[in-house]
């Protein structure tokens, strides 16, 4: 920040105004990578969004959870059992006051939308209150290329590194690989598949380049919604 101020002071008034506008309008996404390295596994974690909650439970980290929020679908029975006794703070995003009362040393969210001016605010503010913030790296992808198998496991592996349980993540991935069909068993020609994710007034389909498209390809199908 001191370097930024020094640079601004060296500019004329018009250039300063332009520079300030650029700084103020930079998307919050740019601050997501500023988080301090987490060396010691957090003891008090609040998980927000279903993907983050399930990742914690799949790695058997439920003892670290002091609260969860934004479960928008039914949990698999085994994971639901692990969540027993963990406070369900809010149906959607919790308030800042609710989060502060839990005194979390880590807030783990599935999507960057949890930290905007109209939701939980700036990540740096939470860090100043003693709460680190981690957001699933997969949710921050900006590429339009189809994802690979390894991309789908990035979130789990990075979370496992934070809690020093990398072997658990490896076992989960290896077990999942065992359930994949062998390439020689995949049908030819590939069946055409259209995945309808939600249907109300308009249909939402599984397009390129997310998890739904990956599942169709792994099963040997052709996703007709990818274009």
Q: Name the token pair of 183.
A: 């390439």
**Beta-carbon contacts of residue 93 (< 8 Å; ≥ 6 apart):** 48, 69, 70, 114, 119, 120
Instruction: Give the domains, in start order, of the chain with CATH numbers.
Output: 2-28 (no CATH), 35-174 (3.40.50.1980), 183-223 (no CATH)
The set of residues, in sequence order, having a beta carbon less than 8 Å from that of 69 and lying 6+ positions away, is 46, 47, 48, 49, 88, 89, 90, 91, 92, 93, 94
Q: Report pLDDT for 111.
A: 92
Q: Answer for the pair 56, 69: CB distance below 8 angstroms, yes or no.
A: no
> How far is the C-alpha of 75 from the C-alpha of 10, rounded, in Å?
56
> Mean of the per-residue pLDDT values for the chain?
81
Neighbours of 33 (CB within 10 A): 10
Quick: pLDDT tens for 119-170. Answer: 999 999 999 999 999 998 877 766 678 888 888 899 999 999 999 999 999 9
pLDDT exceeds 60 at position 82 = yes
Of 106 and 219, more confident: 106
> Given a cut of 80, is residue 182 above it in pLDDT?
no
């Amino acid at each position: 920040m001191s370097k930024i101020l020094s640079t601004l002071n060296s500019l004329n008034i018009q250039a300063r105004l332009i520079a300030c506008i650029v700084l103020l309008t930079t998307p919050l996404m740019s601050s997501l990578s500023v988080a301090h390295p987490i060396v010691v596994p957090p003891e008090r974690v609040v998980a927000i969004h279903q993907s983050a909650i399930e990742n914690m439970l799949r790695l058997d980290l439920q003892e670290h959870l002091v609260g969860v929020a934004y479960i928008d679908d039914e949990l698999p029975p085994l994971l639901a059992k692990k969540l027993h006794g963990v406070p369900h703070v809010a149906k959607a995003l919790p308030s800042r006051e609710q989060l502060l009362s839990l005194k979390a040393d880590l807030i783990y969210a599935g999507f960057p939308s949890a930290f905007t001016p109209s939701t939980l605010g700036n990540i740096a503010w939470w860090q100043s209150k003693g709460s680190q913030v981690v957001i699933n790296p997969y949710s921050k992808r900006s590429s339009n290329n189809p994802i690979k198998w390894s991309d789908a496991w990035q979130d789990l592996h990075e979370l496992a590194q934070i809690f020093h349980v990398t072997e658990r993540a490896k076992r989960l991935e290896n077990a999942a690989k065992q359930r994949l069909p062998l390439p020689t068993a995949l049908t030819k020609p590939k069946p055409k598949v259209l995945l309808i994710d939600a249907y109300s007034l308009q249909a939402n389909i599984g397009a390129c380049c997310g998890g739904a498209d990956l599942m169709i390809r792994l099963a040997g199908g052709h996703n007709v919604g990818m274009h």
